[in-house]
């Protein structure tokens, strides 16, 4: 007896836009990349939530035999999902494809002046960061003043992205939760998760909290993790985080806030 067939379409193709992370690799040595990522992210496995990633090697001098599979595997350890390579010379295209990566020309889908949460996988700070909207991120309405207000605590696994706006969280941010804003971040409660301000490269962005206990903080792509603990003068206290210096000298500064 012949099985009934559905009148619906079995498969359908539609155009769309995929927002992807960019990992700008300036030194293709896998061991050096592993050391750089550990230094940048504190060895935090699965830091990213399966975000599609383009490996950008435009202008990078590559060895005769490039270990694309090794680079892709390293990125996956941190929760990234490599999907393509941008700017690879023609002689490396076959190797990249064999590693399951699409090959893009140098200018295809290139990010703006501030585009990757992880870039420059060497000792230098990332060039203008950051994240496209995380796939799991909630997006409450942003007010006309370009400020997103979240009036509840955020649990582990929750993500909020204030695109083109400041973010105000009235409540705590639990371990494993992530708050991202293109502008400033204000947390009126314990900040124990990850806070990423200036996500599109705003070096003037700041992070404010009434109780600092973060796993990771970032402004304009410059990261700082606290696997060895926070400085005593700001741990569990009201704090202000700013970005100082430029280029290789850029670093995050943590200062206590006097609220009374």
Of 3-12, 46-55, 236-245, the poorest mean pLDDT is in 3-12
Of 36-40, 79-83, 129-133, the poorest mean pLDDT is in 129-133
Domain boundaries, the chain: 21-104, 147-256
pLDDT tens across 161-200, in order? 888 899 999 989 998 888 989 899 999 999 998 899 998 8
Of 27-41, 61-75, 116-130, the poorest mean pLDDT is in 116-130
pLDDT tens across 56-76, in order? 888 888 988 899 999 999 888
Q: Given pLDDT bands bounded at 50, 70 and 90, which one contains residue 46?
A: low
- Torsion angle, CA of 256/257/259/260, rounded to 10 degrees? 60
Site of tokens 């399966």: 50
Contacts of 122 (CB under 8 A, 6+ apart): 26, 27, 32, 36
CATH architecture of the domain with range 21-104: 2-Layer Sandwich (3.30)
For residues 90 and 48, the model is more confident at: 90
Structural contact between residues 33 and 74, judged by C-beta atoms closer than 8 angstroms:
yes
Structural contact between residues 75 and 55, judged by C-beta atoms closer than 8 angstroms:
yes
pLDDT at 159: 85
Q: Return the closest-CA partner of residue 202 out of 256, 133, 130, 142.
A: 130
pTM of the model: 0.53
Measured CA to CA in angstroms, residue 62 lies from 65, 90, 135, 167 at distances of 8, 12, 32, 40
Crossing angle (nearest 10°) for helices 30-41 and 68-77: 20
Mean pLDDT of the 119-136 span: 39
CA distance 180 to 198: 8
- The matching CATH number, chosen from 2.160.20.70, 2.40.50.140, 3.40.980.10, 3.40.30.10, for 147-256 is 2.160.20.70
pLDDT tens across 207-253, in order? 999 999 998 898 988 888 887 889 999 999 999 999 998 877 888 99
Mean pLDDT of the residues in the chain:
78
């Amino acid at each position: 007896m012949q099985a009934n067939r559905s009148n619906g379409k079995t498969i359908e193709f539609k155009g769309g836009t995929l927002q992807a992370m960019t990992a700008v690799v300036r030194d293709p040595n896998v061991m050096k990349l592993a050391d750089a990522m550990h230094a940048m992210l504190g060895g935090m496995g699965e830091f990213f939530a399966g975000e599609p990633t383009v490996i950008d090697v435009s202008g990078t001098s590559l060895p005769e035999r490039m270990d694309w599979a090794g680079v892709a595997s390293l990125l996956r350890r941190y929760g990234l999902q490599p999907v393509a390579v941008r700017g690879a010379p023609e002689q490396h295209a076959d190797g990249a494809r064999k590693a399951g990566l699409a090959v893009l020309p140098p200018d295809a889908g290139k990010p703006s002046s501030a585009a990757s949460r992880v870039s420059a996988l060497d000792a230098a700070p990332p060039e203008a960061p950051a994240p496209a909207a995380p796939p799991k991120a909630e997006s409450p309405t942003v007010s006309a003043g370009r400020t997103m207000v979240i009036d509840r605590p955020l649990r582990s696994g929750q993500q909020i992205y204030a695109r083109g706006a400041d973010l105000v969280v009235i409540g705590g941010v639990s371990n494993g939760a992530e708050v991202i804003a293109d502008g400033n971040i204000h947390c009126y409660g314990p900040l124990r998760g990850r806070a990423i301000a200036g996500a599109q490269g705003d070096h003037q962005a700041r992070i404010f909290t009434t109780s600092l206990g973060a796993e990771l903080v970032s402004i304009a792509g410059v990261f700082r993790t606290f696997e060895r603990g926070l400085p005593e003068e700001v741990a569990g206290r009201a704090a202000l985080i700013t970005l100082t210096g430029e280029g290789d000298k850029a670093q995050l500064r943590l200062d206590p806030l006097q609220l009374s």
